Amino acid sequence: MAMAQPAAAPPMSSPEEERLQEDFISSLPSREGWPQTLIQYEGYWFKPKILEGVLRARRAFTPRADDVVLATQPKCGTTWLKALAFTVATRSRHGLGAADHPLLTRHPQHLVPFIEIPGATGGDDRVDLGALPSPRLLATHMPMSLLPPAGCRVVYLCRDPKDTLVSRLHFENKLAARGGGGGLSMDDAFGMFCEGFSPYGPFWDHCLEYWEESVARPDAVLFLRYEEIKSDPARVVRRLAGFLGVPLSEEEERSGVAEEVARMCSFETLTGLEVNQVGGVSHGSRVHVENSVFYRKGEVGDWANHMSREMADKLDRIVQDKLQGSGLLF
Ligand code: PAP
């Protein structure tokens, strides 16, 4: 996969090297506005703990040719994509109707580990990615230019930026409320998002990198949209199965496997399971995110309840302008 070469980040693992990394991070541009300070690295904005994970991943993560990486910007449907891809990829091992199917007892976020967010798989444990058997199913929010140049396949999922922003705002405010902090207003979040200043943003650059690669290398990057899963989930299940190298057989087609996977991974099914309502996910060593926080409304077009028509038009114009000539439209 033709990806940009990683830029230099200080190699480390010892306390001295940890200090070097801290010095490196504190030398980067930072900006206030979101509940946490964001740091700019290689053109993208990151929360400090996440950036540590990004730098660590760039040093230590060794991709394999048969890896599949689920890539998203936060709030674009990561949880959903993890559930769908895991269920499709493991269906010969975990029968769809099985009483012990992992989806019934584990949060989708726990089933597919993030490359750059240690501990996101539940509790404070750090999954040793190197010890996972091949083929690995992994996840990332990193922009493509920060992934190691490798031949692994990527499924990228994007979402209408207005709904992504609304989802982000609710998520941030839930986390802030839990920590006793005040929330952000839509006006403030909107202004920052429109400037390209948001976690893992600019939104448009992130989408554009994966989009261009999907156009150049459709066999290597499958580009999906939240809205298309919403309108025809079974079709996306078929596409995913084909892309993952485990296409649905005629028998599976006859027995409605695509529809069954879509049902198992639907917002309604997942939110009805206890595992998705109790317990939590640890991001890094400090932040603890409740399992339920990854589910809110799960709808297309909720932006209309949170921003004015003028705001929507403005954001649409900015995104259109940034993506001009690429063929990518929202
Ligand atoms: P993350 O990036 O922090 O991992 P992510 O899963 O990408 O979060 O985004 C959460 C959004 O996906 C929420 O959107 P909302 O705020 O607009 O409601 C969440 O409701 C939605 N979501 C989670 N699971 C599903 C699902 N199975 N079907 C549809 N939407 C879902």
**Pocket, ligand 1, Cβ cutoff 6 A:** 72, 74-80, 163, 167, 170, 265-267, 270, 294-298, 302
Band (10; pLDDT cuts 50, 70, 90): very low
The average confidence (pLDDT) of the chain is 90
Give the range among 19-23, 147-151, 164-168, 300-304 with minimum mean pLDDT. Answer: 147-151
Residue 266 burial (CB count, 10 A): 18
Q: Which residues of 68-94 are buried (b: 16+ CB within 10 A; e: fewer)?
A: bbbbbbbbbbbbbbbbbbbbbbbbeee
Q: Which fold has domain 33-281+289-322?
A: Rossmann fold (3.40.50)
| Domain spans, the chain | 33-281+289-322
Give the DSSP H or E segment for 228: helix 226-231
Is the per-residue pLDDT at 241 higher than 60? yes
Cα 85 to ligand 1 centroid, rounded to whole Å: 15
Is the per-residue pLDDT at 125 higher than 60? no
Is the per-residue pLDDT at 78 higher than 90? yes
Give the pLDDT confidence score for residue 278 in this predicted structure. Answer: 81
Can you tell me which atom of ligand 1 is nearest the CA of 79? 6
pLDDT average, residue stretch 171-177: 86
Q: How far apart are CA 243 and CA 222, in angstroms?
A: 7
Q: What SS3 class is residue 115? A: coil
Can you tell me which atom of ligand 1 is nearest the CA of 302? 17
Band (284; pLDDT cuts 50, 70, 90): low
Q: How far apart are CA 140 and CA 56, in angstroms?
A: 13
Give the pLDDT confidence score for residue 202 in this predicted structure. Answer: 98
Give the pLDDT confidence score for residue 120 in this predicted structure. Answer: 61
- Which residues are catalytic, by number? 141
Q: Which residue has the higher pLDDT, 72 or 149?
A: 72
Is the per-residue pLDDT at 9 higher than 90? no
Give the pLDDT confidence score for residue 288 in this predicted structure. Answer: 66
Give the range among 91-100, 176-185, 200-209 with minimum mean pLDDT. Answer: 176-185
pLDDT tens readout for residues 86-112: 999 999 999 998 999 999 999 999 899
Can you tell me which atom of ligand 1 is nearest the CA of 73? 2
Give the range among 61-65, 134-138, 148-152 with minimum mean pLDDT. Answer: 148-152
Token code pair at residue 74: 């936060």
What lies within 8 Å, CB to CB, of 316 at 6+ separation is 162, 330
Is the per-residue pLDDT at 285 higher than 90? no
Q: How far apart are CA 120 and CA 210, in angstroms?
A: 23
Mutational test site, ligand 1, from 79, 103, 228, 293, max ligand atoms within 8 Å of CB: 79
Q: Provide the total of helices (H) and of strands (E) in the chain, helices listed first.
A: 14, 9
